[in-house]
């Protein structure tokens, strides 16, 4: 074989390897999305809910939008950034005296860090290994009618994902 043919062959093998690796990573992410849903809690009238979420991926992820029931816009949506020891508060008043003890943030301003899955937070609590430095995220939603499900759209590594938390 000539040297040019060998270079072309090696280049083709390299390009095909990269394509296969990218397709494999994409398929892995589709079948193992990084957003994990944990805690589901609501008020008695089910018009205010908290959905505990975390990131099992290798990089941060960002919430793009949150809708309820039949993709309807909620009245209010905030993200609670807490720790497993403190937990979350279920409220429809994010500015009450009790709510000020919790950190509420706009969804656009939160990048959910890796290693914050609810299951690992619960395991750390069970082992008495949880600390105030651990982070826990809760999506707080209020709506004018009872909330049956919360749809979460998010981006991870430039790929869009959907996740649904079902109440009842």
What pLDDT was estimated at residue 1? 61
14: domain range?
1-32
Query: Does one domain contain both 25 and 62?
Result: no
Residues 121 and 75 in one domain: yes
**CATH number of the domain that residue 156 is part of:** 2.60.40
Q: What confidence score (pLDDT) does residue 155 get?
A: 96
Whether residues 66 and 49 fall in one domain: yes
pLDDT at site 132? 77
Percent of the chain with pLDDT over 90: 61
What's the pLDDT score for residue 21?
93
Say if residue 27 is in the same domain as residue 49: no
Same domain, 121 and 151: yes
Q: Convert the pLDDT of each residue in 132-149 to its tens digit.
A: 778 899 999 999 999 999
* One domain for residues 84 and 62: yes
Q: Of 38-52, 67-81, 114-128, give the lowest mean pLDDT range.
A: 114-128
Residue 148 and residue 73 share a domain: yes
Residues 70 and 148 in one domain: yes
What are the φ/ψ torsions at residue 142 (nearest 5 degrees)?
Answer: -125, 145
Among 61-75, 85-99, 104-118, the range scoring the smallest mean pLDDT is: 85-99
Judge whether residue 128 has pLDDT over 80: no
49 and 61 housed in the same domain: yes
The confidence score (pLDDT) of residue 62 equals 95
Using a pLDDT cut of 70, give the percent of the chain over it: 98
Residue 163 has pLDDT above 90, yes or no: yes
State residue 118's pLDDT score. Answer: 86
Q: Tell me the average pLDDT of the chain.
A: 90
- Assess whether 55 and 131 both reside in one domain: yes
Q: Looking up tokens 């020891």, which residue turns up? A: 85
What integer pLDDT is reported at residue 82 of this predicted model? 86
What's the pTM?
0.84
The total number of structural domains that make up the chain: 2
Mean pLDDT of 89-99: 87
- One domain for residues 38 and 27: no
70/138 same-domain check: yes
């Amino acid at each position: 074989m000539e040297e040019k043919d060998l270079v072309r062959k090696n280049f083709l093998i390299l390009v095909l390897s990269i394509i296969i690796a990218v397709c494999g990573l994409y398929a892995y992410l589709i079948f193992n999305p990084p957003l994990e849903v944990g805690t589901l809690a609501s008020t008695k009238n089910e018009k205010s809910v908290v959905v505990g979420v975390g990131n099992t991926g290798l990089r941060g992820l960002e919430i793009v939008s949150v809708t309820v029931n039949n993709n309807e816009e909620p009245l209010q949506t905030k993200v609670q950034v807490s720790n497993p020891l403190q937990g979350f508060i279920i409220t429809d008043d994010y500015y009450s005296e009790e709510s000020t003890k919790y950190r509420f943030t706009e969804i656009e301003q939160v990048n959910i860090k890796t290693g914050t899955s609810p299951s690992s937070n619960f395991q750390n609590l069970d082992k008495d290994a949880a600390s105030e430095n651990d982070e826990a995220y809760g999506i707080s939603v209020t709506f004018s009618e009872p909330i049956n499900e919360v749809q979460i759209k998010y981006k991870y590594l430039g790929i869009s994902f959907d996740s649904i938390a079902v109440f009842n």
